[in-house]
Structures are given as C-alpha cells and as structure tokens.
C-alpha cells in the first residue's frame, strides 16, 4: 500500500514532454531502431537528413540563425529601403562596402542565404507539423487510453465508497463525465476519459498558419507589384507601365496584368499649422481625385489623405508626398513657344517646402535651353538670401539660373528629370532676380524668353497591388488564434476503477492526470470533479479504509480529505484533514511522474502495461 514506485526510465528515444507539445515525436518506434549494417545508402542518408531536419534542435538552431541573420538587415543600410544611404555607405567605407555587398549584406532579406534559412526552417516545420496533422485527423476519433492498473501512481487520486454496485457506479460516473464533454471509454471495471484535444489542434493550427503566411507573402511577391507616380493637379494617368514613374513588378507580373484604372487629380489642398512651436507642420492633406476603375466605367470621386488610401480594383493607392510645380512658358529665339506646362519641383526643406527643380527645353532654337533653380512658397529675404518661411503659397516666387547648349538628351542615355547635366551647357549671363507669377526672364543673344506663369501642386502616389495581403492577414489571425488555444486549453485525463466492496456497494477510485503543465488549475478541476462524482455516486461519509471527509458540504475549494494532489491547488490547512487516504505513497512519488507523463510509458501509454491483464 505504501509502495513507492519511481517511474521507470524512459526508453523513448526522444524525450517528449508535458510542456506545450511543440516537440515532434515523429513516428514513434518502440525501442530504438538498430543502425543498419553496412555502409549508408543514399536512402538512409536521406532519411537521416530528414530526421535531423525535422528535429527540435534543428528548429531551434534555425530560429536563432533567422534572428541573427536579420540583425545586419537592420543596422546596415538596405538597398530596397534607402538606396541613397547605401551609396553613402559605399562612399564612407570604400574598402569594406564591396565585401559586404558580396555577402548580400545590403539586401539581407532578399539574400540567398537568408532565404535558405527561412526555407529550411519552414521545411523543418512542415515536415514536423504535417504528419502530426494527419495523425490528429486520424486520432480524432481515437479513444482515450486504457486506465492503468494501479491508479495510485497518478498524481491526483481520490477514493470514495459508494453504495452503488460497481457497474452502476461506473455507469453513473460515465454519464457525469460525458456530460462534462469528456471523451469516455469504458472497460471492464474501469473508465478512462480525456478532454482537451483542442490543444494539439491549436498548436498545429498555429504552425500551419505560419506556413500559410509564408505562402501568402510569396504570393504577393510573385503576383504583386508596387509603383510610383507623381501627378500634377489637373493631370490624369492610367495604370500602365508607360505612365508610371517607377514600377517594381513581382516575378510573374507582366504589363498586361496591371489593373486598368485611371486617376485624375482635380485639386489638392494642404493645411499647415499657422503659428506656435509647430508652425509649418502639416495639419492635413486632401487630394481630391476622380477615378475610373476601367476605361468607360463611371467616374467616381475620392478624397485621398495620408492614412486613407484609395482602393480601386483591389489596388491600393496611397498619398505619400506632395509639392509644388511652377508653370513655365518658354519661347525660343524664333519666337515660337517651345515649352508650356508645369514642372514638378522637389521639396528640400520639409518645414518650408522650398523646392528645387530644373526646366529642360531641348527643342528650342537656336540652342537647347536649361534652367535650374528654386521655388519658394512664401518668399522672404533673410540677410540678402532668399528663403521660404512657410509652406503655404502666400508669396510664391521662383529663382532660376539659365543655361544654353547641349542638354545631353539626344544620345539616348537616361537622365534624371530633376537634374541638369551641365557638362555641355554654358551659363547665360542673366541678372539674378526672383520671379513672381507673371514675370519673365529675357535671355541674352535672342535665345528666348521664360515666363513664370503660375504654379500648381502635385502629389506623389504609391500604387500597391498585393494579392497575398488578405491571405497573409487571415493566416496571421489564424496563427494567433491557434496560439491562444494551444496555451489556454489543457489536456487532461481521468480514470476510474470500481471494485465491489464488502457489504454491497463498491469502492471507487478516481484518478487524474494533466498531460500538460498547468497543475494548479487542474487540481481545482479535479477537486470539483471529485466532489460531483461523490455526489453522483452517493458516496457515504467516512468509514475505515480511505474515504474522504464530508463531501458535498465541504466548502468549495476545500479538499475532500481523501484527495491529495502534490500539484493540487489545495489550500493549506484544511481543518478536516485527518482522515487518511489509502495511498500515502502518492506524495512520495511526486510530480516526477506527472510532470513528464508522456515520457512514462507506464502511465501514458497504458496499453503497454495493461496488456498484461
């Protein structure tokens, strides 16, 4: 009766645990597989490699490599995020930079070695999780294991004497447990019940959702695209490659895959903080658009703002910048108007929106003309230098330097539209003077005239199409749900044995086991179950061998004295506690067994032990 049984050492090759079941048990061999004799064949190497890949240790190492590999991606400038910073890094570290580039450290997240890490990790994950999913599906209707022979070895045991016959007691218990949504299995003189299968399902859902997330991200990368377009007020564009300033397609995107919407910027208004310490900070932007989802569709209007993208035909259009585009009219030496339109200038000062830009007039006669300068929305003269004091156009002016000669545009080599290549140009002697709207520069030698006719505003749009975005969101939410389920649901088993007792009735032994780590709450649950069972079985008050104290009348949470639970959530100092239990050794075989229950074949896989019966 007071035997102490230390659970036998586990013969399991990989020690599974009672912790959240992230461990991959793999196919469970009974005992170790003997190493094959002779040299390893390809197949055996493959199997060995696969087993190594899907082991937890490999997963851990890959996780760390993933984290470690991300570090350079955050401290070094990345090509895809800030190419100018990369250029600056090259300039600052001319010897080191090419070496870093060789290891793709300026494009870490697109690097082959980074891809190798996460692909291996997901392969390991898939190889572990997918078989377990099948196993869970097959086991969905699997019965709980048989009750162990000696219930006293379990961590939580309670004994009660019931006036009911053994069979009736078992039937009543079975009904009670089934009512509590346990999966019940009845045997000869015993009942086994289990609850909490959802935990494994949640765990698998989480990991499968991660796989789905990766697939969704790949989907976006293959079929999605990003593009930019700068649009001056009054202009419109259609979503074609020829109309976009930048186009970064996914691998499988071609020009005809672009959604054929068109967008026109009717007007743009910006509000700035007029005074105080934040003077000049933007307060609100409104870009009033008209758009058509397809050519010929109805025109709709939209007020585009930061944080409020336009969603047209599953493509998202974001407002990411704005600025000024002064309008110029240039007449050349022959008097013909050879240029007439807005020229976007790029802001260089955020608070005042002073902007820089160039005007290129390549078809002017007799010589090509070029102008470079600044536009100031609110011009002020600070000690002889012109600056802009405020981003709203209260006093717009433009100040330009004039050039003539060869702009270098005819050779076919691409040029930036915001920069002037002055190699083939010579500067014209024009007295420097800022122009207000309506004013002109007359170029010397009959080269022509430039008139600053007015200004408009422009916006820059980011156009993003990512078909994997919604699947990624769903996968992420599913992962979170699976995570919560796997953390909150506990898997527990209870067993009952009823033996006929002398004088009619039966002695019922009720034992419980939490397969996962959450001892305290299971202890409370066990206590409740115990109380309810004893009520259902009509268990009588104390008598000699190992019954409990007063039942039913016990205050909630008080221990039926026959229960001892080393992990039990039992309040200390239960006053009623002098009735002995019959199984004192249970405290001597403390939680070693239950903490690692699945490592203990004697308890967790009772079919092995019970086969002796």
Partner 1 sequence: MRLRARRATRAAARSAARAGALALGASLALAACEGGAIGQSTAASNGQSFVSGSAGTTVYGATSGPAAPRVTGTLLSGEKFGLTQYGGHVVVLNFWGSWCTPCRAEAPSLAQLARHFTPRGVRFLGVDIRDSPATAEAFQSRFGISYPSLNDPGDEIALDFRDTVPPAGIPTTLVIGRSGRIAARIIGEVSYPGLRGLISQALAASA
Partner 2 sequence: MPPVNLGLAQLSDHFLLATVFFYALAVLAFAGDFAYGRRPAPPVAGKQADAEMAAERAPVAVGAGAAAQAAPDAPAHLAASGEAAKTAETVVPGPAAARGGGGAGAETGVVAASRWRAGGAPAGPWVRAAIALTVIGLVTQILGIATRGMAEHRVPWGNMYEFVMAITCAAVIAFLLLLIRFRVYSIGLFLMAPIVLALGLCATVLYTAAGPLVPALHSYWIWIHVTAMTVAIGSYIVAAVLTVLYLIADRHARRNAADSQAGFGALLHRLPPADALDRLSYRTVIFAFPIWTFAVIAGAIWADQAWGRYWGWDPKETWAFITWVVYAGYLHARATAGWRGRKAAYIQLVGFASLLFNLVGVNLWITGLHSYAGIN
Residues 500-529 that bind partner 2 (CB under 8 A): 517, 519-520, 523
Peptide bond into 242 cis (omega under 30): no
CB of 253 vs partner 1, minimal distance in Å: 9
Q: Looking only at residues 279 through 298 of this chain, which bind partner 2 when binding is defined by CB under 8 A?
A: 281-283
Segment near partner 1 (CB under 8 A), from 165-173, 268-276, 403-411, 476-484?
A: 403-411
Q: Which is nearer to partner 2, 66 or 401 (CB)?
A: 66
Q: Which is nearer to partner 2, 271 or 336 (CB)?
A: 271
Both structure tokens of 452: 């600053």
H-type alpha helices, 346-436: none
Q: Looking only at residues 533 through 552 of this chain, which bind partner 2 when binding is defined by CB under 8 A?
A: 549
What sign does the dihedral 250-253-258-259 (CA atoms) show?
negative
Residue 380 in the binding site for partner 2 (CB under 8 A): no
Both structure tokens of 428: 């014209």
**Cα(462)–Cα(556) distance, rounded to whole angstroms?**
62
Query: Which helix (H) or strand (E) element contains residue 386?
Result: strand 385-388
337 binds, among partner 1, partner 2, none (CB under 5 to 8 A by kind): partner 1
Residue of the chain from 587, 607, 608, 613 that contacts partner 2 (CB under 8 A): 587
244 binds, among partner 1, partner 2, none (CB under 5 to 8 A by kind): partner 1
Any idea what the Cα angle at residue 188 is, between residues 185 and 193, rounded to 5°? Answer: 20
Assign 606 to helix, strand or coil.
Answer: helix
Q: Looking only at residues 9 through 28 of this chain, which bind partner 1 when binding is defined by CB under 8 A?
A: 27
Residue 497 in the binding site for partner 2 (CB under 8 A): no
What sign does the dihedral 508-513-514-519 (CA atoms) show?
positive
Q: Looking only at residues 553 through 582 of this chain, which bind partner 2 when binding is defined by CB under 8 A?
A: 559, 561-575, 577-581
Assign 176 to helix, strand or coil.
Answer: helix
CB of 257 vs partner 1, minimal distance in Å: 9
Residue 323 in the binding site for partner 1 (CB under 8 A): no
CB of 334 vs partner 1, minimal distance in Å: 10
Q: What is the 3-state secondary structure (H, E, C) of 296-356?
A: CCCCEEEEEECCECEEECCEEEEEEEEEEEEEEEEEECCCCEEEEEECCCEECCCCCCCEE
CB of 531 vs partner 1, minimal distance in Å: 40
Q: Looking only at residues 131 through 160 of this chain, which bind partner 1 when binding is defined by CB under 8 A?
A: 131, 133-135, 138
CB of 526 vs partner 1, minimal distance in Å: 34
Residue 589 in the binding site for partner 2 (CB under 8 A): yes
119 binds, among partner 1, partner 2, none (CB under 5 to 8 A by kind): partner 1
Residue 464 in the binding site for partner 1 (CB under 8 A): no
**Cα(272)–Cα(389) distance, rounded to whole angstroms?**
12
- In Å, what is the CA distance from 415 to each residue of 230, 421, 579? 17, 8, 94
Segment near partner 2 (CB under 8 A), from 75-83, 185-193, 408-416, 530-538?
A: 75-83
**Cα(405)–Cα(505) distance, rounded to whole angstroms?**
114
Q: Looking only at residues 70 through 129 of this chain, which bind partner 1 when binding is defined by CB under 8 A?
A: 79-80, 83, 107-112, 114-115, 118-119, 122-123, 126-127
Please, which residues have CB within 8 angstroms of residue 456's CB and are 6 or more apart in sequence? 232, 233, 234, 324, 325, 326, 327, 342
316 binds, among partner 2, partner 1, none (CB under 5 to 8 A by kind): partner 2
Residue 68 in the binding site for partner 1 (CB under 8 A): no
**Cα(180)–Cα(518) distance, rounded to whole angstroms?**
19
Rounded (10°) CA dihedral 123, 129, 131, 135: 180
CB of 250 vs partner 1, minimal distance in Å: 5
The pattern of x and - marking residues 97 through 126 that bind partner 2 according to CB under 8 A reads: -----------xx-----------------
**Cα(237)–Cα(261) distance, rounded to whole angstroms?**
9
The pattern of x and - marking residues 409 through 448 that bind partner 1 according to CB under 8 A reads: xxxxxxxxxxx-----------------------------
Residue 51 in the binding site for partner 2 (CB under 8 A): no
- In Å, what is the CA distance from 385 to each residue of 78, 399, 432? 37, 11, 12
Segment near partner 2 (CB under 8 A), from 287-295, 305-313, 333-341, 422-430?
A: 305-313
Residue 2 in the binding site for partner 2 (CB under 8 A): yes
Q: Looking only at residues 337 through 396 of this chain, which bind partner 1 when binding is defined by CB under 8 A?
A: 337-341, 360-365
What sign does the dihedral 226-231-234-240 (CA atoms) show?
negative
């Amino acid at each position: 009766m007071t035997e102490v049984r230390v659970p036998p050492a586990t013969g399991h090759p990989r020690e599974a645990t009672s912790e959240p079941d992230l461990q991959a048990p793999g196919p469970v061999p009974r005992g170790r597989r003997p190493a094959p004799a002779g040299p390893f064949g390809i197949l055996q190497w493959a199997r060995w490699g696969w087993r190594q890949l899907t082991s937890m240790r490999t997963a851990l190492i890959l996780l760390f490599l993933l984290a470690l590999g991300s570090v350079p991606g955050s401290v070094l400038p990345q090509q895809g995020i800030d190419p100018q910073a990369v250029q600056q890094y090259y300039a600052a570290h001319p010897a080191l930079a090419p070496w870093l580039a060789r290891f793709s450290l300026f494009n870490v997240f697109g690097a082959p070695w980074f891809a190798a890490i996460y692909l291996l990790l997901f392969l390991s994950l898939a190889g572990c999780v997918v078989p377990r999913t099948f196993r869970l599906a097959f086991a969905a209707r699997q019965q709980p294991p048989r009750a162990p022979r000696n219930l006293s070895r379990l961590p939580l045991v309670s004994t009660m004497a019931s006036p009911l016959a053994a069979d009736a007691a078992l039937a009543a218990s079975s009904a009670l447990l089934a009512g509590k949504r346990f999966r019940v299995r009845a045997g000869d003189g015993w009942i086994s019940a289990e609850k909490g299968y959802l935990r494994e399902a949640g765990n698998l859902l989480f990991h499968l959702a991660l796989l789905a997330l990766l697939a969704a991200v790949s989907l976006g990368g293959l079929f999605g695209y990003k593009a930019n377009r700068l649009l001056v007020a009054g202009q419109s564009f259609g979503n074609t490659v020829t109309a976009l300033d930048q186009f970064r397609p996914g691998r499988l995107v071609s020009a005809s895959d672009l959604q054929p919407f068109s967008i026109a910027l009717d007007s743009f208004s910006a509000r700035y903080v007029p005074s105080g310490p934040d003077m000049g900070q933007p307060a609100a932007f409104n870009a009033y658009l008209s758009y058509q989802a397809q050519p010929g569709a109805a025109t709709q209007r939209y007020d585009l703002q930061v944080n409020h993208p336009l969603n047209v035909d599953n493509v998202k259009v974001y407002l990411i910048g704005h600025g000024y585009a002064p309008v110029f009219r240039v007449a050349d030496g022959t008097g013909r108007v050879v240029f007439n339109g807005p020229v976007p200038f790029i802001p260089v000062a955020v608070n005042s929106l002073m902007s820089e830009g160039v005007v290129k007039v390549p078809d002017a006669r007799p010589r090509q003309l070029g102008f470079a300068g600044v536009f100031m929305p609110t011009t002020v003269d600070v000690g002889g230098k012109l600056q802009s004091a405020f981003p709203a156009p209260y006093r717009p002016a433009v100040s330009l330097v004039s050039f003539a000669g060869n702009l270098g545009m005819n050779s076919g080599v691409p040029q930036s539209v915001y920069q002037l290549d002055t190699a083939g140009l010579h500067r014209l002697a024009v007295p420097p003077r800022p122009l207000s709207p309506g004013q002109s520069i007359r170029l010397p030698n009959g080269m022509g005239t430039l008139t600053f006719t007015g200004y408009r505003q422009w916006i820059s749009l980011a156009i993003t199409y990512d078909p994997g975005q919604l699947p990624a969101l769903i996968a992420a939410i599913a992962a979170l749900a699976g995570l919560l389920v796997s953390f909150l649901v506990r898997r527990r088993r209870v067993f009952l044995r009823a033996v006929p007792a002398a004088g009619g009735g039966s002695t019922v032994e009720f034992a419980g086991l939490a397969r996962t780590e959450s001892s305290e709450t299971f202890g409370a649950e066990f206590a409740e179950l115990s109380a309810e069972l004893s009520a259902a079985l009509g268990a009588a008050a104390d008598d000699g061998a190992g019954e409990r104290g007063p039942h039913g009348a016990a205050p909630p949470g008080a221990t039926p004295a026959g229960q001892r639970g080393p992990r039990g959530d039992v309040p200390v100092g239960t006053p009623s506690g002098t009735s002995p239990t019959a199984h004192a050794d249970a405290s001597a075989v403390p939680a070693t067994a239950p903490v690692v229950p699945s490592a203990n074949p004697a308890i967790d896989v009772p079919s092995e032990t019970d086969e002796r019966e």
